[in-house]
Structure 1
Amino acid sequence: MVFALFQLVGGIILAFGWIPQIAQILKTKSVRDLNPKTFRLLFIGIGLMEVYAVRLATQGVGYAFLVTNSLSLLLMLFILVLIFRYRNTKEK
């Protein structure tokens, strides 16, 4: 039980660690210094872990992993959408 709590708290910290990056993109409407390849690879990696998380959850374990990984996947997808939305925006 304690380890599940560690995973849940750690996963939430990792997932919400992307919020400052999202806020910066939304504030500046600039992704000039972000490499889309990095975020695509992160998305693929998190997506593969999501498959594993779903498998664990169907076996009755790993719900904390599924929740926090799903949150990370959604936030990474949001960052990718922002990168593609703002990548051709001219800097003022």
Structure 2
Amino acid sequence: MFFDALQLIGGAIMSFGQIPQIIQILRTKSAKDLNLKTFSMMFTGILLMEIYAINLVLNGSGEAFLITNTVSLIASAIMVSLILKYGNKQNKTDTENQR
């Protein structure tokens, strides 16, 4: 029970820790300083852990891990999609300053 609580707390911090970055990207419409490879690797790692968590639940344990990992997977997928959408775009003023 104690370790389930630690998993929920740690998983929640890890999952919801991405929300400020997501909000920043949505507000500025820019992700040009974020590395797609880094976030793609994180997404892949979380996806593999998700498969493991599903296996744990099917064998009678790991519900806390599955819950927090699923939230992390969703947040990570949002980050990758936002980087793909806004990562290479430059602000109009940045483009003008380069001329």
TM range (shorter): over 0.9
Q: Matched residue pairs, number?
A: 92
Residue 29 of structure 2 is aligned to residue 24 of structure 1: no
Deviation of the 1:64 alpha carbon: 0.4
Deviation of the 1:91 alpha carbon: 1.2
Larger radius of gyration: 2
Gaps of at least 5 residues in structure 2 are: 93-99
Look up the match of 1:80. 80
- Indicate the SS of the match to 2:4: helix
Runs of 4+ aligned structure 1 residues displaced above 4 Å come to: none
Q: Is the 8 A contact 2:47 2:73 kept in 1?
A: yes
Structure 2 CA distance, aligned partners of 1:37 and 1:90?
19
Look up the match of 1:48. 48
Structure 1 CA distance, aligned partners of 2:35 and 2:89?
15
Structure 1 CA distance, aligned partners of 2:63 and 2:82?
29
Gaps of at least 5 residues in structure 1 are: none
Relative to the length of structure 1, the TM-score reads 0.96
Look up the match of 1:34. 34
What's the RMSD between the two structures over aligned residues? 0.8
Q: Is the 8 A contact 2:43 2:73 kept in 1?
A: yes
Structure 2 CA distance, aligned partners of 1:90 and 1:5?
43
Deviation of the 1:89 alpha carbon: 2.1
Structure 1 CA distance, aligned partners of 2:72 and 2:10?
12
Deviation of the 1:4 alpha carbon: 0.4
